[in-house]
Amino acid sequence: MIKWITTAVVFTIFYGKEVVISNLRVAKDVLSPHPHLKPGIVGIPVGDYSDRQVWILASLLTMTPGTISIEVDETKRVLYLHTLYTEPSADELRAQIKRDYERPVRILF
Give the C-alpha separation, 66 to 45, whole Å. 19
The pLDDT tens digits for 16-30 are 999 999 999 999 999
Work out how many domains the chain is built from and give that number.
1
Within 10 angstroms of residue 91's Cβ, the number of other Cβ atoms is 10
The pLDDT tens digits for 29-74 are 999 999 989 999 999 999 999 999 999 999 999 999 999 999 999 9
Give the C-alpha separation, 19 to 100, whole Å. 13
pTM equals 0.91
Supply the range of the domain harboring residue 8. Answer: 2-108
The pLDDT tens digits for 74-98 are 999 999 999 999 988 999 999 999 9
